[in-house]
Amino acid sequence: MIRDKIKTRGELADLCGQFREEGRIIGFTSGAFDLIHAGHVDYLEKAAEICDVLIVGVNTDESVRAYKGQDRPVNTEKHRIQVVAALASVDFAFLFAERRNHKNIDALKPHLYIKAGDYNAAALTSGKKVEEYGGEIRLIPVSEQISTTDLVRKLCGDSGSDKIIEEQNTVHIERIPFKKSPAVFLDRDGTINEEVLYLDDPVKFRLLPNALSGIRRFQDMGYRIVIISNQPGIGLGYYTKEAFYAVNREMLKAFSESGILVDKIYYCPHSKSEKCDCRKPGQALIKQAEAALNLDLSQSVFIGDKSSDMEAGKRAGMKTVLVRTGFRGEDGEYPGEPDLWAKDLMDAAEKVLNMERI
């Protein structure tokens, strides 16, 4: 019976102890399984072939909304887990509320942690936990390239929003993604690179330790990368926009060599006296990024070295991380504490990851 295959995580933790005593190989995988399609069926059948007991974790409605947006899931957790449990390839299924699998791995300790082949094994957030107790990560090749999000688009008659942009004698189409995504908003000077007063020369550009590895970590965790920088030196006449762009080119070159893809770079050229809304902690640039990239700000993070960065993130409803580089939050312009303190961007990524695991 289907209901006999649906358990709690605690019940399955006890059963896994029995399975290990019996010498049975336990396989574990997870997902939202919102609209079950041929890709899901093929993947789960292949997973069942490499283990004796296949356990499937199904994300609760709340956890699906946390990383797929407020319009998902289409089907409720009650219905989704019933469909998963009905598959012959699945031995047991359970619901879990976390976004990541850290607690599931701790409880079940499966011999095989199974994921689809389009994942990067090195980027799996629970990979180290599996290896600690002698488990193994197995990636199943994807032979049926079907996207649930694409199916939802077709059902809704929506393929995303296209906007025609005309600027500087060019025309291009900007597509707003259908699915809301989280982003990490990064200050530039003092957070990504060494703080230099009115930085206008690429030769003076120096990346901070662990900046590249930290940003890459966020990218691997599924965050879009957005940079927002106050550049009052432009408005004050200390350097030109072209000089600012030249420094950015040096930064983007280093990013490219590390496999980092930046979605957007925004800057405010105004001085504080101009009282614009694009200067942090103003929200104009954040709102532009939200609309252009279809971002979920409630699941996004703002990282910087100044109190104005923290204030900008808080006003937008984001989590905030203050790095102990650059100004170290000692500018004293705005009161209040960040959600997290971090030594550098890599430490920030690890702290945000640990926060997601809760």
Which of the residues are catalytic? 187, 189
Other residues' Cβ atoms within 10 Å of the Cβ of residue 302: 31
| SS3 at position 304 | strand
What CA–CA distance (Å, rounded) separates 255 from 89?
A: 43
Can you name the residues that pair with 94 across neighbouring β-strands?
Answer: 57
Let me know: does 21 contact 98? Beta carbons within 8 Å: no
Other residues' Cβ atoms within 10 Å of the Cβ of residue 345: 28
CA neighbor of 16 nearest in space, from 135, 137, 109, 132: 109
What CA–CA distance (Å, rounded) separates 205 from 223?
A: 25
DSSP H stretches of helix in the chain: 2-5, 9-21, 38-49, 61-68, 77-86, 102-108, 127-132, 148-156, 211-220, 232-236, 241-257, 284-293, 307-315, 345-357
Let me know: does 11 contact 3? Beta carbons within 8 Å: no
| SS3 at position 186 | strand
What CA–CA distance (Å, rounded) separates 288 from 188?
A: 18
Antiparallel, parallel or unpaired: β 340-342 and 161-167: unpaired
Let me know: does 310 contact 336? Beta carbons within 8 Å: yes
What CA–CA distance (Å, rounded) separates 81 from 190?
A: 47
CA neighbor of 98 nearest in space, from 180, 30, 43: 30
